[in-house]
Amino acid sequence: DTYGAPVMILLLFVAGLAVPGPSHHVLCSGDDDNNHNNSNNNNNSNNNKGKEVNWEAVRQDLVAALEDGFEHPGPMLVRLAWHSSGTFCRHTRTGGSNGATMRHAGEADWPANAGLWRAIDLLEEVKEKHPLISYADLWVFSAGVAIEEMGGPAIAFTPGRSDKSESAVPSWTSEHAPHGRLPSADLDGSEADMAQHIRGIFDRIGFDDKEIVALCGAHTLGRCHANNSGYHGPWTVEPTVFSAEYFRNLLTTLCSV
């Protein structure tokens, strides 16, 4: 196919961790509650609330937001959804896109999330127009719309995520992970140390090496911003086009450090 199976894994992850849920679609959020077995009533309530939303109207407003502005915000919306989902832990069933916990101090201040306040602010106007949407649903849905608008395939979406208050958000930092649950681009140590760091992050989510490589393909979109990371520039010549160019460049382009 056009994008290849590895890139399709990226789509599944951006759409929310692919686990069974109470709705009819197969793509839905990972459960963010340690007591998830006792939360069926809340989940059903959230699903019913999501079904009351005019999702086509939301899509149209998102498309308008994508077209309005000097720099295409699509890659930023994909990054927001991925960083929101990337906190998931398969062992404790915590984290994930459910909760939209990046709205609160702590997670919002992780170095990996630098600059994502712009994406959150961009979506605030859409949230105000459609108040029945949870932030958690909106972040995931907006990434799917952005991918489609940038030339990618349509992604099935299941509503039903809820938002967590700041008091309900645990601290995910520790001496072993001082910057939270997301990968660090500036980890001190050897290449082997960095590889182990990346594997540790994604093993917690439940991904193997092939799936790690697939998710790296998200770098076909967007660019580095010096004020966020200290790095500058895109990874591809068309950073707002959903393609396999990132992988082609890795295989065919000689780079010097």
Supply φ then ψ for residue 154, to 5 degrees. Answer: -70, 145
Per annotation, catalytic residue among 110, 139, 172, 235: 235
Q: For the chain, first and last CA: distance in Å?
A: 34
The number of beta carbons lying within 10 Å of the beta carbon of residue 14 is 26
Catalytic: 25?
no
Nearest to 82 by CA among 212, 199, 197: 212
The number of beta carbons lying within 10 Å of the beta carbon of residue 188 is 7
Strands (E) across the chain are located at 223-224, 233-234
Half-sphere exposure of 116 (CA within 13 A, CB side): 23
- Whole-number Å distance between alpha carbons of 80 and 73: 11
- Whole-number Å distance between alpha carbons of 47 and 52: 9
205: CB partners within 8 A, 6+ apart: 17, 86, 88, 89, 90
180 with 173: CB under 8 angstroms? yes
Per annotation, catalytic residue among 83, 139, 172, 219: 83
Structure tokens at 173: 């930092």
Which positions are catalytic? Answer: 83, 235
